[in-house]
């Protein structure tokens, strides 16, 4: 379960940013998770709740934005959001597409008590 290692790195990043900003606590952590990131949101949330108990994130609320897959079609030129895990253009059915968004996981925002 790689979500544990992801959460460990996320909490380390929160601790670093908290220290840089002289924060007493982090109250909210917001991440964006792409459909094709390979991260399971339920497992990530569970791992965060488990690992946050010691440290600056102990009382933090964990919010996730699920980012749909965004494709640019090189055949018809359309950009589209996909609700399914497919790289086929929903406009012209071409597979000559490029993924624009939806493959990564990013820390988007922290709220801190200073």
Q: 57 among the known binding-site residues?
A: no
User: Which pLDDT score, from 0 to 100, does residue 84 have?
Assistant: 86
Using only C-alpha atoms, what is the Rg of the chain? 17
**pTM for this entry:** 0.85
User: Which pLDDT score, from 0 to 100, does residue 1 have?
Assistant: 57
Q: Which residues are 97's β-sheet partners?
A: 73
Q: 89 among the known binding-site residues?
A: yes
User: Which pLDDT score, from 0 to 100, does residue 18 have?
Assistant: 96
Tokens of 10: 């996320």
Give the span between the Cα atoms of 13 and 107, in whole angstroms.
9
User: Which pLDDT score, from 0 to 100, does residue 2 have?
Assistant: 84
User: Which pLDDT score, from 0 to 100, does residue 54 have?
Assistant: 83
* Low-confidence residues in the chain, pLDDT < 70: 1
Domains recognised in the chain with CATH numbers: 3-113 (3.30.2320.80)
- Residue 65: what are its φ and ψ, rounded to 5°? -105, 125
Q: 73 among the known binding-site residues?
A: yes
Among 103, 14, 104, 8, residue whose Cα is nearest residue 47: 8
Q: 91 among the known binding-site residues?
A: no
Q: What share of the chain is helix, strand, coil (3-state, %, to 5)?
A: 25, 35, 40
């Amino acid at each position: 379960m790689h979500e544990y290692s992801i959460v460990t790195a996320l909490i380390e990043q929160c601790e670093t940013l908290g220290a840089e900003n002289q924060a007493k606590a982090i109250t909210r952590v917001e991440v964006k998770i792409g459909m094709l990131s390979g991260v399971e949101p339920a497992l990530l949330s569970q791992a965060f709740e488990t690992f946050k108990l010691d440290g600056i994130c102990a009382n933090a609320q964990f919010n996730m934005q699920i980012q749909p897959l965004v494709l640019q079609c090189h055949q018809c030129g359309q950009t589209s959001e996909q609700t399914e895990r497919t790289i086929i253009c929903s406009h012209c059915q071409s597979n000559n597409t490029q993924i624009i968004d939806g493959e990564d996981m990013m820390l988007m925002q922290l709220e801190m008590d200073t």
